[in-house]
Amino acid sequence: MTAEARRIERAIGGFGLPGPEPPIDVPTDAWPSVLTTLAAGRMTGLAVAAAEAGHLRLSASQAEELLERQRDAMIWALTIERRLLGLARAFDEVGVDVVVLKGPALAHTMYPDPSWRSFGDLDLLVPTPAWRRALDVLAGLGFGRRLPEPRPGFDERFGKAAVHTNGDGVEVDLHRTLVIGPFGLWISPDELSRRWAPFTLAGRELRRLDDTALLLHACLHASLGWWPALLWTLRDVAQVAWSGRVDWEEAAELARRWRLRAVLRHALEAASKTLEVSLPVEAAPLLSVDPPRRERRALESYVTERRGRGGTEISTLHAIPGLRGKAAYVRAMLFPRREFLAARGRGPLRRLMVPVRWFAGRRG
């Protein structure tokens, strides 16, 4: 990505939010890179809205190329939404309550128009006690799990989600918590699954996270999902902060109990700085908090070079309570089942060397 494409993408990322909105002109020679960046970064919907408002100034040919990319994104979004409606019926039939995460839930509740927020897969949250039943539902519908759990029971104790696909390209990520690693362990999955609000899709009522939990999830996704953070995840943070009916005091309390203070501050600051937008005044206490050292160190395992050296896994080990729990996690990491190794394309010895390199790098 060129520096010019990145600059334009950031300016488009802040469109429609409180902050400076100078007109954006795209040099002719930079347009191919800009268009590729917008499509890859799920920003074509925002770009179309900015162009229609006169904020993004494009030639006729540039506008048509942008619309073509946006049509492709919307066709795929509709495909995912159709899959969601079918899965919702299947889960209802066996009494599994699912909460829709990100994607359709954000597009249809937080953005001025659903076309502003495209998405590439489907994320569903289920209560931990219903985890195995939910897996059975997907298997019964012909969905295969991409990566088996390392050892029996690992999912419910330490796991975040399992990716499924049935060969048509639509991925279904079944979640029991919001993020892998220490922060996923500190969140209460049972309490999280109860924090839902209704939304309507194609005349059907579905569940999503309530606005306060939606903000926490947006911050987790932005800060911990990728390093560095993807622009559209930062836009989600700012969008929910402004459009959602967030109970800011409750958000601060949840962040305290679930040890998410460092994550929320990091995500809110990054969204404001990167997109050059302001945040609601109610967010000030979350921005001014001084998180405990343990939370800051855990965050560093996601947002520094430690991430690629086993930092997240080592932080997870520290976060697991009790020696038996730690031993079970280490055993699963060092000696997973053959099915897991085969799916990862690694033999036992190669797998064993991975954590050895992590700890060697940590000592170094």
- What is the number of structural domains in the chain? 1
pLDDT for the residue numbered 167: 85
| pLDDT band for position 352 (cuts 50, 70, 90) | low
- Cβ distance 170 to 82 under 8 Å? no
- Mean per-residue pLDDT for 136-146? 96
- With 0-12 / 13-18 / 19 or more C-beta atoms within 10 angstroms meaning exposed / middle / buried, residue 281 is exposed
pLDDT for the residue numbered 364: 47
In the chain the first and final C-alpha atoms are separated, in Å, by 33
- With 0-12 / 13-18 / 19 or more C-beta atoms within 10 angstroms meaning exposed / middle / buried, residue 93 is exposed
Share of the chain above pLDDT 90, in %: 83
| pLDDT band for position 343 (cuts 50, 70, 90) | confident
CA distance 303 to 281: 26
Q: How many CB atoms lie within 10 A of CB 325?
A: 15
Cα-to-chain-centroid distance, residue 248: 21
CA distance 159 to 156: 6
CATH number, domain containing residue 255: 3.30.460.40
- Give the DSSP H or E segment for 290: none
Task: Give the domain range for residue 42.
Answer: 3-363
pLDDT for the residue numbered 307: 81
CA distance 325 to 319: 10
